[in-house]
């Protein structure tokens, strides 16, 4: 939309310079990117040591100063930052040299747990906006302000659906045509489609399950979506089959992205789909090794944000598991390192009595032979998993037996898989569908 392009141009003049920088830096050789990243880390550590009481204590506790961190690898000397530590040391994590009125309050959605409150600053926002321009628009050959259909959801923020006034404001300032993914009745989908045919978006963006669901609706009803240049997938892990289906229905390439509210975009996919390119200019990514059935080198993602000086997050365990790219280069020419895959949330790892740990993604992956559209695996104790399904699917006993047989190969011998008939599936407060989760009396933290 013309007005949105101008609005974006005028209101983001300060991030425009950064956006220009990011356009070039993504193609730097890996060594230059690492050098650049370490320079930013060095400055961040110096700031944290001087002005953030929590980090002053951390450095004193290990008998070091920022000067003792001389390489990226030496970041390992610093302890991991957890959500619990942030809650317990909230005030002490705020930089003392930043005026209170410059702190920007934010919080995580809390779709799978208690929300986390935090502060960010203007510098953080400028870099985050610029990285979003790159990963959400430029990657598909578009520009910020171009019309973009958005299947989003955040009930606590928008209620039933976006009011018309809000929708118009959004369209004029950002070019976004939003639909609340939380409430996707067939009527709402048709309404959204009508708006999209009128406004001709150049991009579609949203939660993976919402876009998948919408693609299924278009396909089943033989409906056409206006031609877009790309589909941007957000906020959830993506099965390659789902991604292929989405591309077939929308007749456009799709780009997976990974991020979190506390740190903005962390990684983005390019057209070659060799994994996700880390946004090295904004975040430093490490992998804390863990043992997981079926994966060689899985790790908890540890993220250091390089731009938020208001409340530095250094080696923050974000709660997701990933597989490193191990220095593999991508033929797109970007020097940004690759994360092979983000497997999912640590809360979706099922931990059994004998210590076996199986990622939720594994449960989903094994289901693809059984053509069930909706189902939920719930771990209810350290020896029992329940598979919830709708009645017509539950009643197919042959399929139940085949599923049981398949999963028995992976589950510990003393673990049980039971089936449960349900009328419908609950979504999280932010409208995401969860295929796997734990619901145990005492949930062991992974």
Nearer to Zn ion, 135 or 178 (CB): 135
Q: Shortest distance, CB of residue 325 to Zn ion, whole angstroms?
A: 10
Q: Which residue of 270, 306, 339, 358 would you call a contact of Zn ion, by CB under 5 A?
A: 270
Q: Which is nearer to Zn ion, 24 or 61 (CB)?
A: 24
Task: Report the DSSP pairing between strands 230-234 and 203-207.
Answer: parallel
> What pairing do the DSSP bridges indicate for beta strands 254-260 and 176-180?
unpaired
Query: Do residues 301 and 284 make contact, with C-beta atoms less than 8 angstroms apart?
Result: no
Of 271 and 374, which has the nearer Cβ to Zn ion? 271
- The residue range among 158-166, 330-338, 408-416, 429-437 that interacts with Zn ion, by the rule CB under 5 A, is 330-338
The separation between CA 422 and the C-alpha centre of its own chain, rounded to angstroms, equals 29
Closest to Zn ion by CB, 132 vs 334, is 334
The smaller minimum CB distance to Zn ion, of residues 330 and 385, is found at 330
Q: b/e per residue, 115-149, with b = 16+ CB within 10 A?
A: ebebbbbbbbbbbbbbbbbbbbbbbbebebbbbbb
Applying CB under 5 A, among 103, 155, 332, 380 the residue interacting with Zn ion is: 332
In what helix (H) or strand (E) does residue 384 lie, and over which residues does it extend?
Answer: strand 384-390
Joined together, the tokens standing for residue 368 give: 């693809």
CA-nearest of 135, 153, 265, 261 to 211 is 153
Which span sits near Zn ion by CB under 5 A: 115-123, 174-182, 266-274, 362-370? 266-274
State the residue for tokens 């993914």: 181
Beta carbon of residue 279, minimum distance to Zn ion (angstroms, whole number):
13
* Tally of CA atoms within 13 A in the half-sphere of 372 that contains its CB: 24
- Return the closest-CA partner of residue 370 out of 394, 402, 395: 402
Answer for which of 78, 330, 362, 403 binds Zn ion (CB under 5 A) is 330
> Which residue lies nearer to Zn ion by CB, 315 or 334?
334
Q: Could you give the CA distance from residue 209 to residue 425 in angstroms, rounded to a whole number?
A: 13
**Does the CA dihedral 118-123-126-131 come out positive or negative?**
negative
Pick between residue 215 and residue 339 the one whose CB is nearest to Zn ion: 339
Q: Residue with structure tokens 């938020």?
A: 308
Q: Which of residues 272-311 bind Zn ion (CB under 5 A)?
A: 272
Q: Fill in the per-residue mask, 216 to 255: x = in contact with Zn ion (CB under 5 A), - = not in contact.
A: ----------------------------------------
Stretch that binds Zn ion, among 161-169, 248-256, 326-334, 365-373 (CB under 5 A): 326-334
Stretch of residues binding Zn ion (CB under 5 A), selected from 83-91, 324-332, 397-405, 424-432: 324-332
**Nearest distance, CB of residue 267 and Zn ion, angstroms:** 11
Closest approach, Cβ 338 to Zn ion, in A, equals: 7
Nearer to Zn ion, 156 or 272 (CB): 272
Residues that bind Zn ion (CB under 5 A): 270, 272, 330, 332, 334
């Amino acid at each position: 939309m013309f007005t949105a392009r101008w609005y974006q141009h005028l209101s983001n003049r300060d991030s425009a310079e950064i956006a220009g920088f990011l356009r070039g830096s993504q193609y730097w050789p890996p060594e230059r990117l690492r050098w650049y990243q370490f320079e930013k880390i060095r400055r961040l550590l110096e700031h944290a040591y001087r002005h953030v009481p929590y980090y002053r204590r951390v450095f004193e506790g290990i008998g070091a100063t920022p000067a003792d961190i001389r390489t990226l690898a030496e970041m390992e000397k610093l302890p991991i930052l957890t959500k619990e530590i942030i809650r317990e040391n909230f005030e002490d994590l705020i930089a003392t040299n930043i005026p209170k009125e410059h702190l920007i309050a934010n919080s995580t959605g809390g779709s799978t747990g208690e929300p986390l409150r935090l502060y960010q600053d203007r510098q953080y926002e400028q870099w985050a906006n610029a990285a979003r321009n790159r990963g959400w628009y430029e990657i598909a050959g578009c520009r910020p302000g171009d019309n973009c259909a958005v299947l989003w959801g955040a009930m606590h923020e928008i209620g039933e659906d976006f009011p018309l006034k809000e929708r118009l404001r959004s369209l004029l300032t950002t070019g976004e045509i939003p639909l609340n993914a939380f409430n996707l009745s067939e009527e709402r989908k048709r309404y959204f489609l009508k708006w999209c045919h009128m406004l001709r978006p150049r991009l579609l963006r949203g939660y993976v399950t919402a876009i998948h669901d919408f693609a299924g609706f278009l396909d089943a009803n033989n409906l056409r979506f206006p031609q877009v240049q790309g589909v941007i997938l957000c906020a959830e892990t993506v099965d390659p089959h789902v991604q292929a289906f989405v591309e077939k229905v929308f007749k456009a390439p799709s780009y997976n992205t990974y991020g979190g509210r506390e740190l903005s975009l962390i990684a983005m996919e390019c057209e070659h789909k060799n994994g996700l390119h880390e946004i090295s200019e904004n975040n430093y990514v490490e992998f804390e090794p863990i043992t997981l059935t079926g994966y060689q080198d899985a790790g908890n993602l540890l993220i250091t944000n390089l731009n938020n000086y208001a409340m530095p997050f250094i080696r923050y365990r974000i709660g997701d598991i990933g597989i490193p790219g191990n220095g593999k280069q991508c033929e797109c020419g970007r020097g940004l390192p690759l994360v092979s895959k983000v497997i999912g949330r640590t809360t979706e790892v099922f931990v059994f009595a004998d210590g076996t740990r199986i990622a939720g993604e594994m449960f989903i992956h094994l289901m693809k032979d059984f053509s069930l559209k909706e189902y939920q695996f719930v771990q209810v104790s350290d020896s029992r998993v329940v598979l919830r399904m709708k009645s017509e699917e539950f009643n197919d006993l042959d399929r139940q037996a085949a599923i049981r047989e398949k999963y028995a190969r992976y589950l510990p011998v003393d673990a049980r898989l039971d089936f449960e008939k349900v009328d419908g599936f609950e979504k999280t407060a932010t409208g995401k569908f969860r295929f796997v989760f734990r619901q145990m009396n005492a949930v062991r933290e992974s």
